[in-house]
Amino acid sequence: MFHKEATKRILVSVLLTVSLSLSGVAQGRVYLFSYFRGNGEDGLHLAYSKDGFSWAALNKDSSFLAPVVGVSKLMRDPCIIRTKDGVFHMVWTTGWTERGIGYAASMDLIHWSPQKYLQVMNNEPDAMNCWAPEIVYDGKKKQFLIFWSTTITGRFTETEAAEEDRYNHRIYYITTPNFIIFSEPKLFYDPGFNVIDATIVRNRGKYFMFLKDETLAPLQKNIRMAKGRRLYGPYGAASPPVTGKYRAEGPTAIKIGKRWIVYFDKYTEGKYGAVCTTDLRTWEDISDRIRFPEGARHGTVFEADEKILDNLLKKQ
């Protein structure tokens, strides 16, 4: 009897391992999603998923961290990455018309360092805003790359449009090794149109930037992709839209198994959508197969281990 039961357990374990492998879900790993609700007044929200399709809110969809920096004290577009030392680093939009962004760090996503207000565009008096910052760690140079979208009045006048209420964004960046010393802000990407919400992933030694074409006239408001050979660019021309018919913003991407999934905020419909690809050239709309917490806005997907999730679930 013991032999049969032991054999049965081993068989079940093997089948589960094969199943997880085929589905692309790594054992001991989970997917987390940082997002905001409303206008970002209450701060950081988190959701989790085991398969990248069905997402459940953590902490009863209450905030994990309330915003305290910036003039408007909002926490919109929270972007989180984790470095090899186990530290989670987060940047976010602090307000609609500010020249700085927010930053905080955590080991467990529950307890956070004091928040910092990074005045990334303080040397540009004609900068109208700093929206949707993202953060990437460069292990070779041992520094963080932070990039965001800003409109600077009088720049890129060839793409100004009255319909855009003077907004005419480009992507800018800074670097920092320690969040104490910062480089001067520089232009990162000019696709030849009003652009916001850039995010970058690496695949087979190349870099892929997903971005929102913010053009209103003629109407675009979609997600496109640009390629680069180096993290710092240059990035090539933006591709045709990868999100089809939707008005979309806030792209975030992750590779699960052999498939890349790009999630995006279908902001006019009040819900999330997604497209997937295995070659970063042809795209399949899988919006009808994903489920996110109601009211989730402009989030970022990232991986964590099950211990992190277990601690987050205990906070429920």
Please, which pLDDT band fits residue 315 given cuts at 50, 70 and 90?
confident
Residue for token pair 């197969």? 289
Nearest to 210 by CA among 223, 194, 228, 219: 223
Burial of 169 (0-12, 13-18, 19+ CB in 10 A): buried
Contact criterion met (CB below 8 Å) for 148 and 200: no
Nearest to 93 by CA among 197, 215, 182, 209: 197
To which H or E segment does residue 93 belong? strand 88-93
The domain segmentation of the chain, as residue ranges, is 29-314
The model's pTM is 0.90
pLDDT tens readout for residues 100-128: 999 999 999 999 999 999 999 999 999 99
Ordered strands of the 45-49 beta sheet: 56-57, 45-49, 29-36, 297-305
**314 Cβ contact list (under 8 Å, min separation 6):** none
CATH superfamily of 29-314: Glycosyl hydrolase domain; family 43 (2.115.10.20)
pLDDT tens readout for residues 260-310: 999 999 999 999 999 999 999 999 999 999 999 999 999 999 999 999 999
Q: Residue 27: its pLDDT value, please?
A: 52
